[in-house]
């Protein structure tokens, strides 16, 4: 499996909706919290043969960007 750093992941708040979205290598996942969106991205990347590093909630909050 190809390892992917967490810095390659973009997490942002979805306008007009509750929750967050996560984008990485043309995969999009959604979740109620940044961590939930990131954990779903881990599963999506496994299906593509890539491995994301698991992070804690505080680290996921730091990845949130304004779009």
Predicted pLDDT at 35 = 95
In 3-state terms, what secondary structure has residue 56? Answer: coil
- The Cα 5–Cα 52 span in angstroms is 6
Contact present, 38 and 24 (Cβ < 8 Å): no
Residue 22's DSSP bridge partners are 11, 29
- pLDDT per residue, tens digit, the chain (67 aa), is 889 988 899 999 999 989 999 999 999 999 999 999 999 999 999 999 999 999 999 999 999 998 6
């Amino acid at each position: 499996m190809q390892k992917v750093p967490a810095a390659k992941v973009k997490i942002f708040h979805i306008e007009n909706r509750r929750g967050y979205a996560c984008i990485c290598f043309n995969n999009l996942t959604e979740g109620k919290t940044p961590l939930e969106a990131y954990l779903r991205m881990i599963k999506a990347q496994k299906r593509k043969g890539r491995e994301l590093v698991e992070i804690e909630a505080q680290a996921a909050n730091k990845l949130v960007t304004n779009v």
